[in-house]
Structure formats: C-alpha cells, structure tokens
Amino acid sequence: MSIAELRQQLKLGKFSARELVDERLSRIGKVDKKLNAFLEITAERARADANRIDEARASGESLPPLAGVPIAIKDNLCTKGVTTTCSSRMLEHFVPPYESTVTQKLWKSGAVLLGKTNLDEFAMGSSTETSAFGTTSNPWDITKVPGGSSGGSAAAVASGECLASLGSDTGGSIRQPASFCGVVGLKPTYGRVSRWGLIAFASSLDQVGPFTTNVADTAEILQVIAGGDPLDSTSLKEPVPDYSACLDNPLSGLRVGLIKECFDQEGLSSEVKESTLAAADLIQSLGVELVDVSCPHFNDGIATYYVIAPSEASANLARYDGVKYGYRSESSNDLSSMTTRSRTEGFGAEVKRRILIGTYALSAGYVDAYYKKAQKVRTLIRGDFDNAFNQVDILLTPTAPTTAFSVGSHSEDPVSMYLSDLLTIPANLAGLPAISLPCGFDKSGLPIGLQLIANVLDEQRLLQMAHQYEQAASVMKQKPAGQYIP
C-alpha cells in the first residue's frame, strides 16, 4: 500500500488509523524477534495517536498529509521522551528532552511513531553488526546483513513492519541498506533537510532521509521533512518544490551519465553490474540519452572519507565524557580516570577505532598530511561532479558493489567492510542528492540496488527518473520469495 492509497482508504473509511497501527504492531510482534529491526516499540503512543486521528476524522476535521502513516525512526534521531540510544551503551538510557526537527515535522503531518530502529553504533558501519544491542537480520534471508548503518530502518520497511522510516546517510547509510533490503532510500542534498536533533557523526556529511517501498512515497516524506531550519545553520533556505507533482513529467531530452570508473571496479559483482546496465538500457528506452562520463577521482572517495568522517567524529564524540549525560563508569574516583573508563566501557570497538583515526589525522604533526589533503581531494571529487553535470542531468551507478553479505563475513576485516560504501560515499563528499531503488535480484534471490545521483537541489529530477524507471521496470512484481517479505 502506498501513502496515497492509505490516505484515500482512510478517507473512505475502509479502515481506521487504529486498525492500521494494530495491523503493523501485530506484524512487528510476528517477525521482529527474528529481525531485531526495532530497539523500542512505542505501541501505546502509536495507538493513542491513531485514536486521535480517528476522532478527528469522525468529527469532520480535514487530516494532514501523512495522517495515520505508521513510521519507524532510526535511533540516532532525538525523540522527546523516547529513549534514543544510537545503538550504543554510551546512550543506553538517554531520553532526549527535545524533538528533532524532522520527526517534529512528521508528527505535525499526522505520521504515527511505531518505534525506534537499530543501527550500527553511532551510525558507523555498513551492516548493523556494530550495534551494542544485537545485529539486525536481512528480511530476505536472515543469514545476511541488512546493510548499514540504517539497517533497522531498511529491514522494518522491507518486512512490512512499517510503511516508511527515516535513516541517516553519512557515507551511504540509507542507500546501501535500501539496496540490500530491496526498498527505496533517498539521501537528500546536504542541507535540504535539517540535522537538528540528529546525533552527530560527521557533520559535513550527515543527512537525514526516508526509506519507503516506492518512489512516490519517498517524494511525500521528503516534502514534509525538507526545508530550512533556524536551528540548523547548514540547512538551506531555498523553497521546497512540490516533489509529487513532477514525478510524471516526461523524461525525453534528459541525459544520464554512466560513471566509467564505477563499472570498472574490481570488487563489483558481475550480477550487480549486469542488472544496473540493464536498468540503464530501460531508462534509455524511456527517451533518455545515455552518455559515458568520467569522474577521475571517484575512487579516491573511500580514502578521503575515512580521513574526514573519523576526524569530524572524533570532535563530535568528545562530548561523551561521562559528565553531563550518557554512560558514566562508577568504578573510579577521580575525574580523569572517570572519563577514561566511561569512554572505554561506553564505546564499542568500531567507534573507538574511528575516534583514534580521527584524533591522529587532526593531530598537530599530521593535520596537513591527512585532514587538509583529504579536504583538497574532496574538492577534486566535487569538481568531477560539476564537470559531469555540465554534460548530463543524472548520474547512474550501482548502489553497492555486491548484494547483502553473510552476517560475520566482514566483521574481522574493517577495510573490506568500508569498501561496501565505495559507490555511495562520493555523493556525500560532494553534498549531492542520491537515491537507491531496486533494479533486480541475484541468483540467490537477494535484491540489487540502482543508484541515481543528481546535482545539488535537483531532487525533483532524481525522483522523476526513479519513479518512471520503477513504473517501467516493475522489479517488485518479479520478486522471489523472501523469508520475512510480505
């Protein structure tokens, strides 16, 4: 069911908001013991919200656009009065006294919170395995990871536990799990969506975005969460266009660029490559011209990101000192050892690794060699995209080099895990909007994701192309059986 259908049915009285919520809660009850997509289920609040919507409808009030839409929220977005852990022991008992801007906007639009979803600790990871509260399973095959870091949000939508969810994307954390779980995931332009209340990982890269089962729903959620925010000075004040209105505009005359460097990738699976190239052919048949483009610094993205993101993380995570909020070790009696112990006991291994890398890259003797150099390469990557967008409207790549990998298969080798984000990271470094949507299945029946990247603030064209590809390809109509796929 799409959001538009839900709205229509609710209006016609085919079902109530309460029935909708109860149905999803019972789905969660059935499948989440296996999936572990949720860290907390806010059933009571969801039922009360749904009742209020039904009462409003009964009394003839007009309902807001997302009235009754059951939504899950990644547990690094602050929800007032609802525990927000970042999947870390450090914030295990943190109950935010304020609401993030994006969630505030969702509740104002009538969406109903079903619960908070699992992630890699502090959003650092590509498999949801670094969560302090257990890994999430891929609903297609529970021996596989759902991707990460927003694995819980992706798995919750894919398994029908909720209609839509929010995630955050610093280097691919919305798009890669969307690809692994066979759903749509959008990372908006940096600044299109407010980061107020998103617990910071790497502030120059972090962006919030939706997971949905179809592109039209993505347009609806983006419509609600986009826009400038006085509480986030990096948010963009540009007016928010009507994203749903442009979905069916003709594609003819548009140009799509295939980034050469992506398809020459050593680690790119041949099934993923074939499937995305077939998607490009289908897009061509819709009246679009395909062009080969080169982004010579594209493959430097990973090295650049793994200096910049940990550097920013080391600064952002310095606030967890055991003093004001968060975990405090009780086993010490002086300030310095209390801080050390709190951080030692509160953070997991991957988070510590990032803090160490970032602290090193920013240290006096190395800041020029690492951090400043990485910033220069970042500029080159952005320059490549600027050149490409002089020739084409949209860029096309696979979302991830492979389909979902087995639980545990990369945990001992961080670099092999990092390579999972090879194709998604450049859009973050350049601040560009990018979407992942299903384009096929591999031999084991696991979904493959197609990534489309647009120029800054061109979400309209991104959604338009994604929507029309989705309609033409009907990928989900040919879906194989998945263990926990409705």
Q: Catalytic positions, please? A: 74, 149, 173
CB of 173 to ligand GLN, least distance (A): 3
Residue number with CB closer to ligand GLN (190 or 469): 190
Residue number with CB closer to ligand GLN (167 or 228): 167
Residue number with CB closer to ligand GLN (7 or 175): 175
124 binds ligand GLN (CB under 6 A): yes
CB of 200 to ligand GLN, least distance (A): 11
Calculate ∠ Cα 307-204-402, nearest 5°.
Answer: 65
Among 70, 110, 125, 177, binds ligand GLN (CB under 6 A): 125
CB of 432 to ligand GLN, least distance (A): 14
Stretch that binds ligand GLN, among 118-126, 322-330, 379-387, 396-404 (CB under 6 A): 118-126
CB of 187 to ligand GLN, least distance (A): 8
Among 123, 158, 446, 462, binds ligand GLN (CB under 6 A): 123
Cα–Cα distance list, 337 to 39, 324, 352, 427 (Å): 31, 16, 17, 41
Q: What's the rounded Cα separation, in Å, for the pair 234 and 49?
A: 32
For 210, other C-beta atoms within 10 Å of its C-beta total 30
Rounded to a whole number, what is the distance in angstroms from the first to the last CA of the chain? Answer: 11
Stretch that binds ligand GLN, among 52-60, 123-131, 295-303, 472-480 (CB under 6 A): 123-131
Instruction: For residue 218, give the amino acid letter.
Output: T
Q: What's the rounded Cα separation, in Å, for the pair 434 and 187?
A: 5
Residue number with CB closer to ligand GLN (126 or 235): 126
What tokens does 451 get? 């990534």
CB of 58 to ligand GLN, least distance (A): 42
Using alpha carbons, select from 231, 288, 232 the residue that is nearest to residue 255: 288
What tokens does 307 get? 């200096």
Please list every residue from 198 through 217 that binds ligand GLN, using CB under 6 A. Answer: 201
Please list every residue from 160 through 189 that binds ligand GLN, using CB under 6 A. Answer: 169-173
Helices 215-225 & 3-12, crossing angle to 10 degrees? 80
Q: What's the rounded Cα separation, in Å, for the pair 349 and 130?
A: 8
Mode of pairing for the β-strands spanning 184-187 and 255-259? unpaired
- The answer to whether 51 and 71 are in contact (CB under 8 A) is no
Residue number with CB closer to ligand GLN (69 or 154): 154
User: What is the total count of residues that contact ligand GLN (CB under 6 A)?
Assistant: 13
Among 126, 128, 194, 311, binds ligand GLN (CB under 6 A): 126
Q: Dihedral (C-alpha) 184, 190, 194, 198: value to the nearest 10 degrees?
A: 80
Residue number with CB closer to ligand GLN (50 or 193): 193
Using alpha carbons, select from 460, 463, 48, 466 the residue that is nearest to residue 241: 460
Residue number with CB closer to ligand GLN (202 or 446): 202
Phi, psi (deg, nearest 5) at residue 175: -70, -40
152 binds ligand GLN (CB under 6 A): no
Please list every residue from 260 through 319 that binds ligand GLN, using CB under 6 A. Answer: 309
CB of 51 to ligand GLN, least distance (A): 35
Residue number with CB closer to ligand GLN (124 or 307): 124
136 binds ligand GLN (CB under 6 A): no
Q: Which residue is nearest to ligand GLN (CB)?
A: 173
Please list every residue from 406 through 465 that binds ligand GLN, using CB under 6 A. Answer: 421
CB of 133 to ligand GLN, least distance (A): 17
Can you list the positions of beta strands (E) in 188-278? 208-212, 255-259
CB of 119 to ligand GLN, least distance (A): 8
Please list every residue from 23 through 52 that binds ligand GLN, using CB under 6 A. Answer: none
Cis check: omega of the bond before 149, within 30 degrees of 0: yes
138 binds ligand GLN (CB under 6 A): no
Using alpha carbons, select from 244, 262, 248 the residue that is nearest to residue 450: 262
Instruction: For residue 4, give the amino acid letter.
Output: A
- The answer to whether 113 and 40 are in contact (CB under 8 A) is no
CB of 171 to ligand GLN, least distance (A): 3
Phi, psi (deg, nearest 5) at residue 452: -115, 135
Dihedral (CA of 36, 38, 41, 46) sign: negative
Residue number with CB closer to ligand GLN (125 or 197): 125
Q: What's the rounded Cα separation, in Å, for the pair 67 and 105?
A: 12
149 binds ligand GLN (CB under 6 A): yes
Using alpha carbons, select from 439, 442, 464 the residue that is nearest to residue 216: 464
Cα–Cα distance list, 189 to 134, 234, 335, 422 (Å): 31, 11, 42, 19
Chain contacts with ligand GLN (rule: CB under 6 A): 123-126, 149, 169-173, 201, 309, 421
